[in-house]
Amino acid sequence: MQFLIDNFDLFWDAFLTTLSLSLLACLVALVLGTILAAMRVSPIPPLRGLATFYVETFRNTPLTVVFFFMIFGLPQIDFVIDFFPGAVLSVGLYTAAFVCEALRSGINSVSPGQAEAARALGLTFGQSLSQVVLPQAFRTVVPPLGNVLIAMVKNTSIAAGFSVSELSSLLPRLVNASAGDLTAILIGVVVGYMLITLPSALAVHRIERRVAILR
Amino acid sequence: MRITRYAAALAATGVVLAGCSSDAGETTEEAAGGGAEVADDVSFDEGTTMAELADAGTITVGTKFDQPGFGLAGPDGVPEGFDVEIAELIAAELGIATDDIEWVETVSANRESFIQNGDVDMVVATYTINDSRKELIDFAGPYYEAGQDIMVAAGNPLGIQGPDDLAGRNVCSVEGSTPAEEIRTNYPEATLTLFDVYSKCADALRNGQVDAVTTDNVILTGLVAGAPEEFELVGNPFTEEPYGIGITKGDDEFRSFINDTLEASFEDGSWAEAWDRTAGAITGTDAPEPPSVDRY
């Protein structure tokens, strides 16, 4: 316990890094994931193909490989990206594929009559998607979306291997300095993650109860 | 459609793999197996670690698998290098042949716990002797004196001569290592970039993402030897890193035994031969003067 108090600054900094990395990546994933889902259900084949290609590529590539490509692959073609933005993009782009698929399952659950009714009212594809279908889809997929985002928070730990001093990077650093306090170090790191994931889970639960559609 | 999808995925992987290729370590030593004569009839006092190991006929040794010249494992998982040969010398003295040594990869962060948990009998892994580690485990040796140095791009475009020139520069090391802590503590004006292995530091230096890489000189010479047209060593060590052999705390008999074995190898030249076959072969340097063993 004393060890955690003595090293509070380190844990706090690392916690803030993990938190900001998670929030920014979450933003990227939600925005891009929604766009991808819209593309996948759009009536234009090239858009559908492009989104499918994106989802299958990122969903089937280990996140470490995405990181490697972002940090060490892109500089080979003279595109150097800083480590933190690189981490945000890696985690965000990767998670977007999963957000897209969660959202698409929600879109599939909206009855076709809804979309047909929207068309009958004269709404364009964009309008019927954004006004009628997506709002219902989002309300259906709150729990799976929550799972995706909580998994994403834990996935940010891969950034430790790519020069981002987030929570899990404290493990090798502090263990090397004082291996005797291994238990305290582990507790500190786990509590750090829980401070992000448990409130998220609670929020997801609350939102689900408020917006769930009774069919 | 499906085929193009796979082709694209493969192409992407190819780019990634090309990006991570590190030339370091391609010059693995041919002279594997060492030259240690395995002792025939060994006898140790009942109940000592030596007797237990000799009876079992096998020993578990922790070493690094990613350090050219000291411990570098090929695809078959058998490491080669100076650390490996030192471990083989000790095993031979216990009557254990090289083939009967079980190698376990120990990275910087897990060495103490592997020794404490009994996962390994000893650790020979570019392992710097220091006081905080001595609280948890015991060290035999040192068997080598390294020093922290700096690796820069060939031609040294930034004119870095020592750690003081790192102020405002971006310097790369491995999270959880002593060199990283040294920079963090004593040269806070340098910006630290920390990966989990040194090969990524080499890639980052190649890409211009960092200005320099710092760690023990022997590790850096291994990296420079792998890509001499891309990297160079500043050659101005600024710390002392005595490498020891980590064993269970309180096992004084085993520690004395290893120290005796090391001193004998200093005397009869097998230590220098081991150097010439491994780290010396990579770096092209002669074996240094052996350090004096610290019997604390």
Determine the CATH number of domain A1-211: 1.10.3720.10
Beta bridge partners of B101: B59
The region of weakest confidence among A184-188, A198-202, B175-179 is B175-179
Instruction: Please determine, for residue B40, whether its predicted confidence score (pLDDT) is greater than 80.
Output: no
Residues 6+ apart with CB under 8 A from B131: none
SS3 state of residue B69: coil
Exposure of B267 in the CB half-sphere (CA atoms within 13 A): 7
The reply to whether B7 touches chain A by the CB within 8 Å rule is: no
Query: Is residue B19 very low, low, confident or very high in pLDDT (cuts 50, 70, 90)?
Result: very low
The end-to-end CA distance of chain B, in Å, is: 70
Structure tokens at A49: 């193909």
Domain ranges of chain B: 49-145+241-283, 148-233
Which has the closest alpha carbon to A87: A35, A28, A34? A28
| Chain B environment of A180 (Cβ under 8 Å) | 135-136
Assign domain B148-233 one CATH number from 3.20.20.70, 1.10.3210.10, 3.40.190.10, 3.40.50.880.
3.40.190.10
The reply to whether A56 touches chain B by the CB within 8 Å rule is: yes
Per-residue pLDDT at B13: 47
Which has the closest alpha carbon to A164: A8, A16, A5, A27? A16
Residue with the two structure tokens 């770096």: B283
Domains B49-145+241-283 and B148-233 share a fold: yes
Structure tokens at A148: 């995706």
Q: Please give the DSSP secondary-structure letter assigned to residue B284.
A: -
Residue A52 distance to chain B (closest CA, Å): 9
CB contact under 8 A, B176 and A175: yes
The total number of residues written for chain B in this structure = 296
Regarding predicted confidence, which is higher, B281 or B1?
B281
Contact A38, A138 (CB under 8 A): no
**For B246-271, how does the pLDDT look when each residue is reduced to its tens digit (9 = 90+)?**
999 999 999 999 999 999 999 999 99
Measured CA to CA, the distance from residue B292 to residue B263 in angstroms comes to 8
**For B64-103, how does the pLDDT look when each residue is reduced to its tens digit (9 = 90+)?**
998 888 999 988 888 999 999 999 999 999 999 999 999 9
CB contact under 8 A, A76 and B178: no
| Chain A environment of B177 (Cβ under 8 Å) | 176
The region of weakest confidence among A34-38, A209-213, B93-97, B209-213 is A209-213
Q: What is the pTM of this model?
A: 0.74
The reply to whether A59 touches chain B by the CB within 8 Å rule is: no
Regarding predicted confidence, which is higher, B109 or A143?
A143
Alpha helices, DSSP H only, in B118-215?
A: 131-134, 178-186, 198-207
CB contact under 8 A, B113 and A61: no
The reply to whether B76 touches chain A by the CB within 8 Å rule is: no
Contact A33, A61 (CB under 8 A): no
Cis amide linkage into residue B142, ω under 30° from 0: yes
Per-residue pLDDT at B115: 94
Per-residue pLDDT at B35: 57
Rounded average pLDDT over A113-123: 92
Per-residue pLDDT at B178: 84
Residue of chain B whose alpha carbon sits nearest to that of A57: B9
The region of weakest confidence among A115-119, B147-151, B279-283 is B279-283
The reply to whether A64 touches chain B by the CB within 8 Å rule is: no
**B5 burial class (0-12, 13-18, 19+ CB within 10 angstroms)?**
middle
Nearest CB among A161, A163, A176 relative to B109 is that of A176
Percent of chain B with pLDDT over 70: 88
Contact B28, B74 (CB under 8 A): yes
Alpha helices, DSSP H only, in chain B?
A: 2-20, 49-56, 82-93, 111-116, 131-134, 178-186, 198-207, 217-226, 252-268, 270-277, 279-283
The reply to whether B264 touches chain A by the CB within 8 Å rule is: no
Per-residue pLDDT at B36: 65
Q: Select, from the ranges A48-62, A178-192, B31-45, the one with the highest average predicted confidence (pLDDT).
A: A48-62
Please state the separation of Cα B104 from the chain's center in Å.
Answer: 13
**For A71-98, how does the pLDDT look when each residue is reduced to its tens digit (9 = 90+)?**
999 988 888 899 999 999 999 999 999 9
Residue B162 distance to chain A (closest CA, Å): 23
Instruction: Please determine, for residue A48, whether its predicted confidence score (pLDDT) is greater than 90.
Output: yes
Backbone angles phi, psi at B140, to 5 degrees: -95, 160
**For B141-164, how does the pLDDT look when each residue is reduced to its tens digit (9 = 90+)?**
899 999 999 999 999 999 999 999
Measured CA to CA, the distance from residue B107 to residue B163 in angstroms comes to 25
SS3 state of residue A29: helix
Beta carbon pairs, A and B, within 8 Å: 98
At the top level of CATH, the class of B49-145+241-283 is alpha beta
Structure tokens at B65: 């698998």
Give kind and range of the element (H or E) at residue A202: helix A182-211
The reply to whether A6 touches chain B by the CB within 8 Å rule is: no
Per-residue pLDDT at A204: 93
CB contact under 8 A, B19 and A53: no
SS3 state of residue A64: helix
Residue with the two structure tokens 């530091």: B201
Instruction: Please determine, for residue B12, whether its predicted confidence score (pLDDT) is greater than 80.
Output: no
Per-residue pLDDT at A139: 92
Per-residue pLDDT at B75: 85
Nearest CB among A53, A76, A175 relative to B19 is that of A76
CB contact under 8 A, B19 and A73: yes
Beta bridge partners of B146: B241
Mean residue pLDDT across chain A: 92
